[in-house]
Structure 1
Amino acid sequence: MDMESGTSTTATAAATTTKKKYPGIQDGTWFAQFRYGSNPWMARYVYGLIFLITNFLAWAVRDYGKGAMKEIGRLKGCKVGVDCLGTEGVLRVSMGCFMFFFAMFLSTFGTSKVHDRRDTWHSGWWSAKASMFVVFMILPFLLPTSIVEMYGEIAHFGAGIFLLIQLVSVISFIFWINDWCQSEKYAERCRVHVMLTATSAYIVSIVGIIMMYIWYAPETSCLLNIFYITWTLVLLQLMTSVSLQPRINAGFLTPGLMGLYIVFLCWCAIRSEPPGTKCNRKAEASPRTDWLTIISFVVALLTIVIATFSTGVDSQCFQFWKREKQSDDEVPYGYGFFHFVFATGAMYFAMLLIGWNTHHAMKKWTIDVGWTSTWVRVVNEWLAACVYIWMLVAPVILKSRQAGEFP
């Protein structure tokens, strides 16, 4: 459930002021606007395309890199091409992508005004950035294996940061929907829609839990899967109970949507279990690759890109205070945060393609498979529930402390 939370909260308002901030942008096709080189809303799509191409390049190196072994073997950091294929090849591509976006992060961090030259650097200078990207993609293939392996260990941490940022972004989006529906302007109009949405969310969540019991816990010996699914049901009940507490009174919409999210994470966790186990019949090993597997893989890669893209423009969910109004000369979104998310996203897609294990050989057309992947998803689900409950309880605790109810 990777939601485009950033664009829904900021894009609409920003679209009305883009022409004022960037007078060079004229009406016309997106390509005509992009040629001006000063439209940050167009620039983000270019960065997203670069990230997508890098994802597919990492996959190609992993699954079909043997055909280029002779050419790759000439590179200094590759021993007859072996060190630049498979898992290590993915890490090298990921490292190049990370260096590019981290360099962009360092060069755009703190940009707040459209008159800042760094604003033009973020939205233009594409020839220079294309050259920089190519250099950064080639450089990791010249490095020794020890440095690449060190990067692989660091990438575990960076991917975890990405998951945490994405988690907070999704939860903030859910709260934003609830606040929007409860506002004075839309409360009366949204009452029925909120009730139907919340009811549907709970129904889908319960049905999803039942189906996971049927598919992934067919026998009583599948204790681990039974634990995952049952604990997800407990978390759903816990989030609902906390949300309905009189002092919190958050309603049914937010816990219903969060229920969908954690059920989805639980399903992803179980789906990541290695194939061939008796408790995971949906992931049984197959000697051939069918069209459904290929489509699922492509959709998974596109989902990574969309999740990174949508999270990158949602820097407002990490602000510790709300700003009433954005002045006309401020940038439409945080450039530094945007590139930082893409930098950690580069580490994240590497972990998915190697199953979070630098010594793990992945089957063709597979992604995020292995016990390490399973536990990462499970912990992410539990953390999501904890963050959601804390975001409900924290305002009440802080308010009580200010009122002197707690020492």
Structure 2
Amino acid sequence: MENGANSNTGNESCTILKDCSWFSQFRNASNPWMARYVYGLIFLVANLLAWAARDYARGALIEMERLEGCDGGRDCLGAEGVLRVSFGCFIFFITMFFSTAGTCKLKEPRDSWHSGWWTVKLVLWAVMAIFPFLLPSGLIQLYGEIAHFGAGVFLLIQLVSIISFITWLNDWCVSEKYADRCQIHVLLFATTAYVICLVGIILMYIWYAPQPSCLLNIFFITWTLVLLQLMTNVSLHPKVNGGILTPGLMGLYVVFLCWCAVRSEPDGENCVRKSDPTAKTDWLSIISFIVGILAIVIATFSTGIDSKCFQFKKDDTPPAEDDVPYGYGFFHLVFATGAMYFAMLLIGWNTNSHHVMRKWTIDVGWTSTWVRIVNEWLAVCVYLWMLVAPIIWKSRQANAT
């Protein structure tokens, strides 16, 4: 009876955990799919700590006075506090990058290190989060300058990942297997994308270019419309024959980047609708901030598992059962550069220790505006190159023969 009772108890425990084998795999460091969520949670906590250091660290000033690198707490608040938290997050993920890069098979020691040993790694992360607060201000400022480059690398990786996904989706829809079935869906999605793009451009004219004197915003928005038309024309050219879906989806992306750019313009601009700086933070600002933080985490998480988009030679060979499901090194590299990226967003790309950002704001400032605009233009250039590059290579091969 006792054995039966124990068996029933064990079954009930399995039911509660839903899958005992799944729990055992995760505990024993053989579930890399679940591990990525833990890393995403660590990254989210780092974002929240950086935000707290920027907006709500005044209450911790007495404790910070005890840390050598804080100079009485003055160098651990505001922009510099964000950089210190970001630096700790960067050190953790770059350490994980060097310790897991090149992992190919499951059950390797590096696979176990990536997917398990959570007690050790959480202690390691806590130590690395505290360590930057012991460093002098000069080193943190140097990291801030390097972080500009790292954040740019993150944006480039994200850009390639997005274009790769759009291209894959289009290839899947026009493949022989799904072409007939997806023809109406492709037309519907493309039409919807173009309608959203046009509505977004009209709304940007209304909200961010209400006066003829708003020349810069009028230029940004109009040029976005021109780029949308250019991508469509090139994609529909008979020699390219790229279809209408990819330029429509890319149009959504570039319109979104244009909106982010004009929205990032600082307070005091007549061409941007802003709330009264002396008024209390409204719910819209809080919601926008929360959505912005979540967007950073989700973008980093989704980009980190997309290492295949950077393979120069596509390998159609199906993966073996013991192959790792995604590139561990690339995953941690994306999170490391993402740590630099969220720092730049929280301080408006301005590493000046005296630079002050309003509470519940993110990615605000002229530097943020131009970063978004350049990212938009670069996205269009990369997309157009991906369309015309095969034609150029074929032409060169034909001339060579």
Q: Which TM class, normalised by the smaller chain length?
A: over 0.9
> What's the counterpart of residue 55 of structure 2?
63
Q: Tell me, yes or no, if structure 1 residue 165 matches structure 2 residue 157.
A: yes
Q: Tell me, yes or no, if structure 1 residue 386 matches structure 2 residue 381.
A: yes
Which amino acid in structure 2 is aligned with residue 238 of structure 1?
L
Which amino acid in structure 2 is aligned with residue 330 of structure 1?
D
1:367 to 352, 362, 366: 362
Which amino acid in structure 2 is aligned with residue 313 of structure 1?
I
> What's the counterpart of residue 344 of structure 2?
351
Residues 242, 159 of structure 1: CA spacing in aligned structure 2 closer, same or farther, 3 A cutoff? same
> What's the counterpart of residue 3 of structure 2?
none
> What's the counterpart of residue 9 of structure 2?
none
Question: CA offset at residue 195 of structure 1?
Answer: 0.3
2:198 to 181, 197, 206: 206
Give the Cα separation in 2 of the matches to 1:165 and 1:299: 21
Equivalences for 1:252-263 in 2 at 5 Å?
Answer: 252-263=244-255
Helix, strand or coil for the counterpart of 1:294?
helix
1:396 to 384, 391, 397: 391
Q: Is the CA contact 1:271–1:283 (under 8 Å) kept in the aligned structure 2?
A: no
Give the Cα separation in 2 of the matches to 1:286 and 1:273: 18
1:248 to 237, 240, 243: 240
Structure 1 unmatched ranges of 5 or more: 1-25
Q: Is the CA contact 2:29–2:113 (under 8 Å) kept in the aligned structure 1?
A: no
Q: Deviations over 1:157-212 (max 9, x none)?
A: 00000000000000100001100101111111100000011011111101111111
Equivalences for 1:8-407 in 2 at 5 Å?
Answer: 27-28=19-20, 33-282=25-274, 285=277, 287-324=279-316, 325-359=318-352, 360-404=355-399
Q: Is the CA contact 1:215–1:282 (under 8 Å) kept in the aligned structure 2?
A: no
Helix, strand or coil for the counterpart of 2:314?
coil
Aligned length: 382
Give the Cα separation in 1 of the matches to 2:39 and 2:358: 29
Question: CA offset at residue 36 of structure 1?
Answer: 2.9
Question: Once the two structures are aligned, what percentage of the paired residues are identical?
Answer: 70
Q: Deviations over 1:280-301 (max 9, x none)?
A: 0156645211122111111110
Helix, strand or coil for the counterpart of 2:157?
helix
Deviates more, 1:151-160 or 1:129-138: 129-138
Q: Is the CA contact 1:311–1:341 (under 8 Å) kept in the aligned structure 2?
A: yes
Residues 213, 284 of structure 1: CA spacing in aligned structure 2 closer, same or farther, 3 A cutoff? farther
Helix, strand or coil for the counterpart of 1:278?
coil
Give the Cα separation in 2 of the matches to 1:282 and 1:255: 32
- TM-score w.r.t. the length of structure 1 is 0.91
Helix, strand or coil for the counterpart of 2:313?
coil
Give the Cα separation in 1 of the matches to 2:395 and 2:149: 36
Residues 282, 240 of structure 1: CA spacing in aligned structure 2 closer, same or farther, 3 A cutoff? farther
Helix, strand or coil for the counterpart of 2:68?
coil
Question: CA offset at residue 370 of structure 1?
Answer: 0.2
Q: Is the CA contact 2:30–2:106 (under 8 Å) kept in the aligned structure 1?
A: no
Q: Deviations over 1:241-260 (max 9, x none)?
A: 11011111011000000001
Give the Cα separation in 1 of the matches to 2:232 and 2:274: 30
Q: Is the CA contact 1:174–1:254 (under 8 Å) kept in the aligned structure 2?
A: yes
Give the Cα separation in 1 of the matches to 2:192 and 2:268: 34
Question: CA offset at residue 32 of structure 1?
Answer: 5.5
Question: CA offset at residue 318 of structure 1?
Answer: 0.2
Give the Cα separation in 2 of the matches to 1:259 and 1:405: 36
Residues 97, 85 of structure 1: CA spacing in aligned structure 2 closer, same or farther, 3 A cutoff? same
Question: CA offset at residue 91 of structure 1?
Answer: 0.2
Structure 2 unmatched ranges of 5 or more: 1-17
Point out the structure with max Rg over C-alpha: 2
Give the Cα separation in 1 of the matches to 2:58 and 2:83: 16
Q: Deviations over 1:122-145 (max 9, x none)?
A: 001111111110111111000000
- TM-score w.r.t. the length of structure 2 is 0.93
Which amino acid in structure 1 is aligned with residue 144 of structure 2?
G
Q: Is the CA contact 2:30–2:107 (under 8 Å) kept in the aligned structure 1?
A: no
Give the Cα separation in 1 of the matches to 2:229 and 2:166: 18
Question: CA offset at residue 28 of structure 1?
Answer: 4.7
Residues 123, 401 of structure 1: CA spacing in aligned structure 2 closer, same or farther, 3 A cutoff? same
Q: Deviations over 1:212-242 (max 9, x none)?
A: 1111111111000000001101100110111
Question: CA offset at residue 33 of structure 1?
Answer: 4.7
Give the Cα separation in 2 of the matches to 1:283 and 1:203: 29
Q: Is the CA contact 1:198–1:252 (under 8 Å) kept in the aligned structure 2?
A: yes
